Amino acid sequence: MRQLFISITLLLAFFVTTAQNLQSPDGKFFLTFTLQADGTPVYNLTYKSKTVIKPSKLGLELKDDKKSLLNDFTVTNTKNTTFDETWKPIWGEVNSIRNHYNEMAVTLNQKETNRQLLIRFRLFNDGLGFRYEFPQQNNLVYFTIKEERTQFAMPGDITAFWIPGDYDTQEYDYTRSRLSEIRGLQEKARTANLAQTSFSPTGVQTSLMLKTDDGLYINLHEAALINYACMHLNLDDKNMIFESWLTPDAKGDKGYIQAPAVSPWRTVIVSDDARDILASKITYNLNEPCKIPETSWIKPVKYMGVWWEMITGKSTWSYTNDLPAVQLGVTDFTKVKPNGTHGANTANVKRYIDFAAQNGFDAVLVEGWNVGWEDWFGHSKDYVFDFVTPYPDFDVQELHNYAASKGIKMIMHHETSGSVRNYERHMDTAYKFMKANGYDAVKSGYVGPILPRGENHYSQWIVNHYQYAIEKAASYKIMVNAHEAVRPTGIARTYPNLIGNEAARGTEYQAFGGSKANHVTVLPFTRLIGGPMDYTPGIFEMDISKISASNHSHCNSTLANQLALYVTMYSPLQMAADLPENYSRFMDAFQFIKDVAVDWDDSKYLEAEPGEYITVARKAKGKNNWFIGNVNGEQTRTSAIALDFLDAGKKYTATIYADAKEAHYKTNPQAYTIRKITVTSKSKLSTVSAPGGGYAISIIPGVSK
Confidence of residue 705 (pLDDT cuts 50, 70, 90): low
Residue 614 lies in a domain: no
Residue 80 lies in a domain: yes
Residue 49 lies in a domain: yes
Residue 248 lies in a domain: yes
* DSSP secondary structure letter of residue 388: S
- Residues 104 and 230 grouped into a single domain: yes
pLDDT digits (tens, 9 = 90+) for 3-54: 444 444 334 434 434 699 999 999 999 999 999 999 999 999 999 999 999 9
Grouping H, G, I as helix, E, B as strand and the rest as coil, residue 662 is: coil
- Given a contact cutoff of 8 angstroms between Cβ atoms, the answer to whether 323 and 373 are in contact is no
- pTM for this prediction: 0.95
Residues 670-688 have a mean pLDDT of 98
- Residues 277 and 310 grouped into a single domain: no
Catalytic one of 508, 581, 612, 662? 508
- Residues 266 and 334 grouped into a single domain: no
- Residues 10 and 61 grouped into a single domain: yes
Q: Which residue has the higher pLDDT, 247 or 4?
A: 247
Residue 549 lies in a domain: yes
684, β-bridge pairs: 642
- Residues 270 and 239 grouped into a single domain: yes
Distance CA 170, CA 203 (A): 13
Residue 446 lies in a domain: yes
In angstroms, how far is the first alpha carbon of the chain from the final one?
89
- Residues 170 and 228 grouped into a single domain: yes
User: DSSP E strands: which ranges in 135-264?
Assistant: 142-148, 151-153, 159-162, 175-178, 203-205, 208-211, 217-223, 231-236, 241-246, 255-258, 261-262
**Structural domain that includes position 433:** 301-596
pLDDT digits (tens, 9 = 90+) for 145-201: 999 999 999 999 999 999 999 999 999 999 999 999 999 999 888 777 655 556 788
Give me the CATH number covering residue 21: 2.70.98.10
Flag whether pLDDT at 379 surpasses 60: no
- Residue 1: predicted pLDDT: 42
Q: Report how many domains make up the chain.
A: 2
Which of 596, 614, 636 is at the close of a domain?
596
Which of 220, 252, 285 is at the close of a domain?
285
Residue 675 lies in a domain: no
Give catalytic status of residue 309 as yes or no: no
- Residues 315 and 417 grouped into a single domain: yes
Give me the CATH number covering residue 470: 3.20.20.70
- Residue 4: predicted pLDDT: 42
- Residues 427 and 568 grouped into a single domain: yes
- Residues 52 and 144 grouped into a single domain: yes
- Residue 11: predicted pLDDT: 40
pLDDT digits (tens, 9 = 90+) for 437-463: 999 999 999 998 898 888 999 999 999
The answer to whether the peptide bond before residue 338 is cis (omega within 30 degrees of 0) is no
pLDDT digits (tens, 9 = 90+) for 252-310: 999 999 999 999 999 999 999 999 999 999 999 999 999 999 999 999 999 999 999 99
- Residues 266 and 311 grouped into a single domain: no
Where does residue 23 fall: left (phi above 0), alpha (psi -120 to 50 degrees), or beta otherwise?
beta
Residue 660 lies in a domain: no
Spell out the alpha helix ranges (H) of 437-545. Answer: 460-475
Which of 550, 581, 596 is at the close of a domain?
596
- Tally of CB atoms within 10 A around 3: 7
Residues in the chain: 705
- Residues 471 and 407 grouped into a single domain: yes
- Residues 10 and 100 grouped into a single domain: yes
Q: Which residue has the higher pLDDT, 377 or 688?
A: 688
